[in-house]
């Protein structure tokens, strides 16, 4: 049932004097997953996000649901095995958002086909019944047929394997819809300003609505800090020591036209100058290049790719393509911050753990961080188990392993049609679009996004700003920054009518979005 998500109704629940069983701070992959797990176990669950859902790291990934080939090369078998299992679970539970993508590792030296073939065969075997298919050795002509723009000189063949691809912020919105379906309350633009204690133990928190400035005092039996790279700021509210739990690492990505990698196969470059793996991946009729691993001191909401990072990506991809993209071909560029756990030096974060941790402070604040999108469900399960123990909640089993996420459908359309991300909601979206002739028209003639999707996002996906729409509901900012600037006034008008805003709000929204978009040039 497609019920409108009324912010006012959600906020009314904050005024209830009854304590929440679990309050989750943070609306990214881990926070949304934790709230979904808790709600499906029957606990009274509240999620609070200071900005928009998936505004930070969770919308800026390499768009892969994968085991991590490079982690296998480093001997981290346990992490790879867990991720491959979770990859298979996600494909089953959200086939409208996760699909298999063919990756090709080209071989330019005589020994590479055998070497990478053995590693990828092991990768397949570790997946077991959750596998996507078996890797295969390809001849030279087969590789060039699937990757027509690949350098042919010295090419002896390659290895093909299957991994998972998805749309990260759309999966986040799907988790939001799923946890609301389960009876939880979730609010964006509701930052936590203070933690409350009774007898030295966490008893709740104070949050403030960004739209009205009203403060809410919220009682909670368990409070989970799932704010990713920002967990140390919440730990600071709890009186944590100055030793940080997280070492942030920046991953930059470039988006270019599909002509640079025609076809449906992705390119995997197994070894770069600094020992990383690099990808060129078809995504929403564009090609995504990524990623870097750059240590950073500060945790910004809008991290910006460094010039060195762009040069790094373009120079490495140029070694493999006959017609490589240049800086002027980049349609948009973005960066995300990884919440890597552990010490180490800021000179290198590439070898810091990608595993997750769940820690509990003396006051009972539960902090979860690390990990990656692929393992969000297992991270959530571990976190809720800890919350049950800390708050002495009645024990109930985890049910998310077989939980079909909102929009699940047994009949998912083939190909890369954008509208597949709505899954079983698509008929309801199409019905809404037919209400007004204008809503069935594209926001921009050259792209598939419809005006009616703006209305849908406001009514059913908690979108509150132009940035929410263009960055995380219809991904235009991540596909074509100039196009998103052109679309911003159209989106602002549509959203203003839906939310009951005036012309001054429209003008401010356009200015605010222009400032955000500047980070993507």
Any idea what the CATH number is for the domain that residue 189 is in? Answer: 3.50.50.60
User: Quick check: 225 and 367 in contact, CB under 8 A?
Assistant: yes
183 and 128 belong to one structural domain:
no
Q: Is the pLDDT of residue 229 over 80?
A: yes
DSSP 220: E
Confidence of residue 79 (pLDDT cuts 50, 70, 90): confident
Total domain count, the chain: 3
307 and 323 belong to one structural domain:
yes
332 and 276 belong to one structural domain:
yes
Q: Is the pLDDT of residue 298 over 90?
A: no
Q: Tell me: the pLDDT tens digits for 19-63? A: 999 999 999 999 999 999 999 999 999 999 999 999 999 999 999
DSSP 106-146: EE-STTHHHHHHHHHHHHHHHHGGG-----EEEEHHHHHHH
HSE-up of 69 (CA within 13 Å, CB side)? 26
Distances from the Cα of 415 to the Cα of 6, 284, 318, 421, 468, angstroms: 34, 10, 28, 12, 26
State pTM to two decimals: 0.95
How buried is 62 (Cβ within 10 angstroms: 0-12 exposed, 13-18 middle, 19+ buried)? Answer: buried
Confidence of residue 4 (pLDDT cuts 50, 70, 90): confident
Q: What is the pLDDT of residue 273?
A: 83
Q: Is the pLDDT of residue 447 over 90?
A: no
Could you tell me if residue 24 is inside a domain?
A: yes
Instruction: Enumerate the β-bridge partners of residue 279.
Output: 268, 290
264 and 326 belong to one structural domain:
yes
Least confident segment among 235-244, 328-337, 376-385, 481-490:
235-244
Structural domain of 156: 80-165+247-341
Could you tell me if residue 66 is inside a domain?
A: no
133 and 278 belong to one structural domain:
yes
Q: What percent of the chain has pLDDT over 90?
A: 86
Q: What is the pLDDT of residue 348?
A: 43
DSSP 451-512: HHHHHHHHHHS---SHHIIIIIIS-GGGT-HHHHHHHHHHHHHHHHHHHT--HHHHHHHHHH
DSSP 275: S
328 and 264 belong to one structural domain:
yes
Q: What is the pLDDT of residue 350?
A: 47
Confidence of residue 352 (pLDDT cuts 50, 70, 90): very low
Q: Is the pLDDT of residue 3 over 80?
A: no
Q: Please report where in the chains the tokens 């409350």 appear, as a residue.
A: 196
Q: Tell me: the pLDDT tens digits for 377-388? A: 999 999 999 999
Q: What is the pLDDT of residue 351?
A: 46
CA 268 – CA 355 distance, rounded (Å):
23
511 and 439 belong to one structural domain:
yes
Q: Tell me: the pLDDT tens digits for 152-173? A: 999 999 999 999 999 999 999 9
Q: Kindly state the average pLDDT of the residues 99-113.
A: 95
Q: Tell me: the pLDDT tens digits for 306-316? A: 999 999 999 99
291 and 231 belong to one structural domain:
no
Could you tell me if residue 362 is inside a domain?
A: yes
CA 280 – CA 264 distance, rounded (Å):
11
507 and 425 belong to one structural domain:
yes
Mean pLDDT, all residues of the chain: 93
Q: Is the pLDDT of residue 463 over 60?
A: yes
User: Quick check: 67 and 84 in contact, CB under 8 A?
Assistant: yes
Could you tell me if residue 31 is inside a domain?
A: yes
Could you tell me if residue 410 is inside a domain?
A: no
Q: Is the pLDDT of residue 344 over 60?
A: no
109 and 121 belong to one structural domain:
yes
Could you tell me if residue 43 is inside a domain?
A: yes
Q: Domain of 139: which CATH number?
A: 3.30.9.10
Q: Is the pLDDT of residue 275 over 90?
A: no
Q: What is the pLDDT of residue 76?
A: 77
Could you tell me if residue 206 is inside a domain?
A: yes
Confidence of residue 242 (pLDDT cuts 50, 70, 90): low
306 and 377 belong to one structural domain:
no
Could you tell me if residue 463 is inside a domain?
A: yes
Q: What is the pLDDT of residue 486?
A: 97
266 and 184 belong to one structural domain:
no
Q: Tell me: the pLDDT tens digits for 508-519? A: 999 999 999 999
């Amino acid at each position: 049932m497609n019920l409108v998500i009324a912010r006012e109704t959600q906020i009314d629940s904050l005024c209830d004097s009854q304590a929440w069983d679990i309050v989750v701070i943070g609306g990214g992959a881990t926070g949304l997953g934790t709230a979904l797990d808790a709600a499906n176990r029957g606990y009274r669950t509240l999620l609070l996000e200071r900005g928009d859902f998936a505004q930070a790291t969770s919308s800026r990934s390499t768009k892969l649901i994968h085991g991590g080939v490079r982690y296998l090369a480093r001997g981290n078998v346990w992490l790879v095995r867990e991720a491959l299992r979770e990859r298979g679970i996600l494909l089953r539970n959200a086939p409208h958002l996760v699909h298999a993508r063919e990756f090709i590792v080209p071989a330019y030296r005589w020994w590479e086909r055998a070497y990478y073939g053995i590693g990828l065969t092991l990768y397949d075997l570790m997946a077991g019944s959750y596998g996507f298919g078996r890797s295969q050795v390809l001849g030279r002509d087969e590789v060039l047929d699937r990757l027509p723009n690949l350098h042919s000189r010295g090419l002896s063949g390659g290895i093909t394997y299957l991994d998972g691809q998805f749309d990260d912020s759309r999966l986040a919105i799907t988790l939001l819809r799923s946890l609301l379906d389960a009876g939880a309350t979730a609010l964006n633009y509701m930052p936590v300003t203070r933690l409350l204690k009774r007898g030295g133990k966490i008893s709740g928190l104070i949050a403030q609505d960004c739209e009205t400035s009203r403060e809410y005092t919220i009682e909670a039996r368990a409070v989970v800090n799932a704010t990713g790279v920002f967990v140390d700021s919440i730990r600071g509210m709890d009186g944590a020591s100055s030793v940080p739990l997280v070492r942030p690492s920046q991953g930059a990505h470039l988006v270019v036209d599909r002509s640079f990698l025609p076809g449906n196969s992705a390119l995997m470059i197994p070894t770069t100058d600094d020992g990383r793996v690099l990808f060129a991946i078809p995504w929403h009729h564009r090609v995504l290049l990524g990623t870097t691993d750059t240590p950073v001191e500060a945790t910004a909401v809008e991290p910006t790719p460094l010039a060195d990072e762009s040069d790094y990506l373009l120079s490495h991809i140029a070694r493999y393509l006959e017609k490589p993209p240049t800086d002027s071909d980049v349609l948009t560029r973005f960066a995300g911050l990884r919440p890597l756990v552990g010490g180490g030096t800021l000179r290198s974060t590439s070898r810091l753990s990608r595993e997750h941790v769940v820690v509990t402070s003396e006051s009972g604040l539960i902090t979860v961080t690390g990990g990656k999108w692929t393992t969000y469900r297992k991270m959530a399960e571990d976190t809720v188990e800890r919350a049950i123990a800390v708050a002495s909640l009645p024990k109930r089993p985890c049910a998310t392993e077989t939980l079909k996420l909102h929009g699940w459908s047994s009949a998912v359309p083939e190909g890369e049609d954008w509208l597949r991300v709505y899954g079983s909601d698509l008929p309801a979206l199409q019905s809404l679009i037919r209400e007004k002739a204008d809503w069935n028209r594209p926001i921009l003639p050259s792209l598939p996004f419809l005006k009616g999707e703006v209305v849908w996002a406001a009514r059913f996906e908690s979108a509150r700003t132009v940035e929410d729409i263009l960055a995380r509901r219809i991904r235009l900012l991540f596909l074509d920054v100039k196009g998103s600037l052109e679309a911003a006034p159209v989106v602002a008008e549509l959203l203003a009518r839906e939310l009951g805003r005036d012309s001054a709000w429209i003008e401010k929204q356009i200015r605010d979005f222009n400032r955000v978009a500047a980070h993507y040039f």
